[in-house]
Structures are given as C-alpha cells and as structure tokens.
Structure 1
Amino acid sequence: MSAAAFAQTPSILPLWPEGVPGARAIGPEKNDATHTANVSEPTVTVVKPAVDRPNGTAVIVAPGGGYVRLSSEREGTQYATWLSTLGVTTFVLKYRMQEFGHPAPLQDVLRAVRLVRSRAAEFKLDPARIGVMGSSAGGHLAASAGTLFDHPAGRTGNALDAVSARPDFLMLMYPVIAMDGPAVHAGSRKALLGANPAPELVRLMSVERQVTARTPPTLLVHTQADQAVPVENSILFYQALTRARVPAEMYLFEQGEHGMGMRDGLANASHWPRRAEEWLRSRGLLTPGTVQAK
C-alpha cells in the first residue's frame, strides 16, 4: 500500500471515557514494534478506508496473543491495512487481558461494537454492517461477541448499554473456541478464567455451546498445521453454526502454522485474504451501503 493511503494519522479512541470498569493499577503498558501487553486503558485505533469511496462497512479487529499479549502488528495493523484497500473502516481493538480476566475482555469488545454503532454517522458507516474479526484468542473474543452480546456480564450500567452490541458478521482466524476437552488451548483458558475456573464459567466461555440462531454469519479460517490451537476449534464452531442454521463458510488449509497472519509462502493458506474478500463481497459488505446521516 502506498504512503498516501495512510496520509491521515489513525485516531485513537478510548473505550471508557467515563472510567474503565473495575480499573486498578497494574503498572505501565508494555509495547514494542509488534506486541502490546499489560493493558489497563482499552482503546480502538481507527484506520480509514484507503479508497476514495468508503463502502460503509466497519470491522473491529481483535488481535490474538493468548489473552497475555496482543499481536498488534501481525493481527491488527496488517489486517487493517488490507481491509482499508477494500473500502472498509477498521477499528483495531486494544483490550484488557490476564491482568483483569473475564469479563473485562468481553466488556471491551462489546463496548467497541456499541461505540462504533453509536458513532456510525460520524464515521460514515452503515450501523447494520459492523463486524468483528479476531485471531487466536482474539478469535475467541470475536466469537464471544457473536454469542454473548446480550449477556449481563458485558454490560456496565452506562447509557451506551442501550445500543445493540450484536456484530453483524464475524471473521475468525484460527480461533480459540473450546475452553475444555481435547481441543482446548490451556494457556488462553488460564489467562482468561484463572487456574481453577468454575465449571459453569468454563461452559459459558466455551463459545461453541453459546451459538444460537442470532449468532451472526461467520467466516472461519484455520489450518491442519496449527499445533497451538487445534483445527477442531473452528470445526466445533462451524458445526454449532450449522445446527443453528447460521450462514457460515469455513476454509481449512493444509499448511500454515499458528499465527500465520497474512504471511506469504504458505501455499494455499497464503491466499485466504482472497477467499475472505470473496465472502465479504458475496454478502454485499463491499458494495456501498446505507450510510447513516450525521
């Protein structure tokens, strides 16, 4: 992408200007060129479309990192750059993780959906075309948004709770889904739920069990070569979507290790952005939408 595409510096919006729920001192945030950790002040970074005519679709991007850190470059900025070329407005989410545990990440992603929807006119968006994309643990968070958008744990008593937090579509990259059983990613479960979570909490956050007919249309991408988060995670979620008659499309590739992002040299897996673009286009999400008047 040319430098002109990012002529405007991305703006950063605080998620909780009224005060972060359950705020506590955890020390300074940790950042390097590729990762972010120890988050206590959640934000979204707005990346505007690089094309002349934005199409009104928005994607909230949740980077992965096992609920321990955020792969903010590979699974955040790179995705935003790609989506901007499609005319999509992207909001890269910086969410709380292991230092807070559940329900802080759920509160953050649902607040992001509510915030974007409530400011659709400002960003020239269609409020009915707001999706969430996530990778690995960020995929678990995105799937949580798509299944637990009405759960009381995602509300904080703020007036913005009245705005719908239901995403209109999901894009899940090698997501963590199960919180128990042979497909579990134990590190993500421990970081999110603690060392000895209650069985009912494990069940709640095993998001394949929370799928209903109201779960939004979903795209899943995973690989057989993923040795960190087994491909069964995506299969479990796809099966649940199919049982609930939710429109879903899934691409399972042979090659591509966990955290592949948009890396080249992984045979067919490197072409997943083309499949994702086709999916977005087939759902009408890349054509000009009904932009809310300001």
Structure 2
Amino acid sequence: MKRIALALLLAAALPLSQAAPKVLPLWPEGVPGAKPALGPERFENGRVSNISEPTITVYGPAVDRQNGTAVIICPGGGYVRESFQREGEQYATWLSTLGVTSFVLKYRLQEFGHPAPLQDVLRAVRLVRSKAAEFHVRADRIGVMGSSAGGHLAATAGTLFDNPLGRTGAQLDAVSARPDFLMLMYPVITMDGPAVHTGSRKALIGGAPSAETVQLMSVEKQVTKDTPPTLLIHTQEDKSVPVENSIMFYQALTRAAVPAEMYLFEHGAHGMGMKPGLGTASNWPRRAEEWLRERGLLDAVR
C-alpha cells in the first residue's frame, strides 16, 4: 500500500514527455448525430456530464520509462456522467509511472445512447493506432481500461470492434479498432438478469430495449476467441454492480480460450478507484502492474 501511495506521489513529481495534457477532438470532421441544442458540458466535483463533443486527453509517460504501451481510459458513471478525475486522471497518473501513455476518453452518454459510446471508444482506438508514431506508442500495444459503465464500454471495444454499429463511414473506419488488451475495473457486463445494473442499462439502451439489443450489449454473450487478453478486478462489497458481472465475463473468456486473469477482493465499495485503506483491494495497482509486466507490456521499446 505504501508503494502505491509513493507511486502516486512520484507521478505528480516526475517529468512527463508532455508538459501538460493535450486534449484532442475525437471527431474533428463533425460528431455523428450531433446535438448542438444540448448546450454546454457540466463539470462538478471531478465529474463531467452532458457531453456532446467527445475528446481524448493525452497523458505522456515518465520520460525515463517510456515503453510504447498505450491505454485508452473510459471513466465510469452509469452512462449518465463520467468520473473523469478519480477514474480517469488518477489512473493516467499512475500509468505514467509505469512508462505507459494514457488517453482519457470523454465519450457520449445518455443524451445520445447506444451506439454513440461504442462509436466513440472504437474511434479512439482507431485514432491512437493511426497516429501511433506521432504518440510514440506501438500500434500492437493499445489497450482499453474502464471502470463500472466505463468497464462495459471497454468490454464492448474488446467484443464488438468489428460490429457495423461502431462504424460511421469515416476514412478511419479502415483502421483496426480491436484493442490489444483490456483492463476492467468493477465493470458492468450484462444487460439482463439479476446481476444487471439497471441505471446503466436504461441510460444506454433505454427503458424498453429490443431483445436483440439486450443480447448484443450483454457483452458476456459477445466474447469470441478474438477478444483480447483481459484483466478483471472486482470486490464482494460492491452492491451497485454485483461481482457476478466480472465472473460471467471471466467464464466467457475461459470458454473461448482467451487469456484472462481476475482478482476478486473482499473489501471495497463500488467506485473505489485508487482509494487507500481497503485492505488487499487497495493493492490492485500492484497486481495490475504485475499482469502488464508478465504480458511484456512494460518492456522497453526496441
């Protein structure tokens, strides 16, 4: 736990390859299905909502540790808001100490609904991959990390990367949107059954979705052998998004012979982020670092 706290302190002090985070529009040619009447975004207590202009915010790695790995981070918030600071900026700061370049995704929410978030996360993967040389990352080391509903969005990137609903007819559609790995924090997974998070379901697919949409967005049912290697982290104390969500996804990954690792902790309420004082659950960044290192994702660029 002391090591994690020290890492966060170092992250604030270490020089990054970029002096300040750079914000890039996700759709410079125009947001698909734009809704200019929505008005300005709302930002309060580190959370953003009413998003009409999706972006990625770029956080460079510590200069002396750059390894070419990239992570697109999807903050959670039930598809109603996004916990941009706690589940976005904090993760990016931690990842920078590991030499990883991070891209915090600001994606469209309930005002648009499905498939807008899917389009945004796949566009982010395509954009980062198409500009890999510019960002000094490797095109085969691009992962997606997400928490809660952001974990659902990350999981859709890993299962629906070839789905037609994720394309808009843009030139970038020709670039592969498949992530190379997933990191899912207490993710929403299913859109059906007793483990469903009803708030996320309603915000994303509405109050009366078709059976086909429920099936499609229950991502445990969309896992194939092409789903990327996945790390899952969840807790027993999570009363908002039951731990069964992660278990179902892990079981689906296992059936498809997809490399997967899962840590289920006793303590830690939903949305714990990098909060200290939660027993072994607060050590999840160390477990995640070990997983990244074991997969060669923290090896220096050759």
Task: Judge same fold: TM > 0.5, yes or no.
Answer: yes
Instruction: Output the CA distance in 2 between the equivalents of 1:50 and 1:151.
Output: 35
Tell me which residue corresponds to 1:17.
Answer: 28
Contact 1:129 1:285 in 2 (8 A): yes
Equivalent of 1:255 in 260, 267, 277: 267
Which residue matches 2:15?
Answer: 5
1:227 aligns with 2:202: no
Q: What is residue 183 of structure 1 aligned with on the other side?
A: 195
Distance across 1 between alignment mates of 2:45 and 2:264? 30
Q: TM-score normalized by structure 1?
A: 0.97
- Counterpart of 1:289? 301
Which one-letter code corresponds to 1:15 in the other structure?
L
The SS at the match of 1:275 is helix
Structure 1: runs of 5 or more not aligned: none
**C-alpha root-mean-square deviation of aligned residues, in Å?**
0.9
For 1:4 and 1:57, how far apart are their aligned partners in 2?
Answer: 18
**How many residues of Structure 1 are paired with residues of Structure 2 in the alignment?**
290
Q: Identical aligned pairs, as a percentage?
A: 74
| Equivalent residue number for residue 127 of structure 2 | 115
Tell me, yes or no, if structure 1 residue 103 matches structure 2 residue 125: no
Aligned pair 1:69/2:85, yes or no? no
Q: Note the alpha carbon deviations across 1:182-241, whole angstroms, 9 max, x for none.
A: 100000000000110011000000000000000000000000000000000000000000
Q: Deviations over 1:153-194 (max 9, x none)?
A: 000000000000000000000000000001000000000001
Asked whether the equivalents of residues 51 and 86 of structure 1 are also in contact (C-alpha less than 8 Å), the reply is no
1:44 paired to 2:56: yes
Residue type of the alignment partner of 1:11: K
Report if the CA contact (8 A) 2:24-2:55 is conserved: yes
The answer to whether the 8 Å contact 2:65/2:98 transfers is: no
| Letter aligned with residue 285 of structure 1 | L
Q: Find out whether 1:166 has 2:178 as its counterpart.
A: yes
Alignment of 1:138-287 (within 5 A): 138-287=150-299
Unaligned stretches of 5+ residues in structure 2:
1-10
1:274 aligned counterpart, secondary structure: helix
- Matched residues in 2 for 1:154 and 1:108: separation? 8
CA contact (8 A) 1:51 1:85 kept: no
> Which amino acid counterpart does residue 159 of structure 1 have in structure 2?
Q
> 1:5 Cα shift?
3.2
Tell me whether 20-29 or 160-169 shows the greater mean CA deviation: 20-29
Off by >4 Å, runs of 4+ in structure 1: none
- Secondary structure of 2:184 counterpart: strand
Aligned-partner SS, 2:145: strand
Equivalent position SS for 2:128:
helix
The offset of 1:52, in angstroms, is 1.5
1:171 is paired with a residue whose SS is strand
Q: Which has the higher helix share?
A: 2
Task: Specify the alignment match of 2:3 in structure 1.
Answer: none
Distance in structure 2 (CA, Å) of the matches to 1:122 and 1:57: 13
Which residue of the other structure, out of 132, 144, 153, is the alignment partner of 2:144? Answer: 132
Deviation digits for residues 17-44 of structure 1, max 9, x if unmatched? 0000000121210012410000000000
2: distance between equivalents of 1:289 and 1:145? Answer: 25
Q: How far apart in 2 are the matches of 1:2 and 1:107?
A: 32
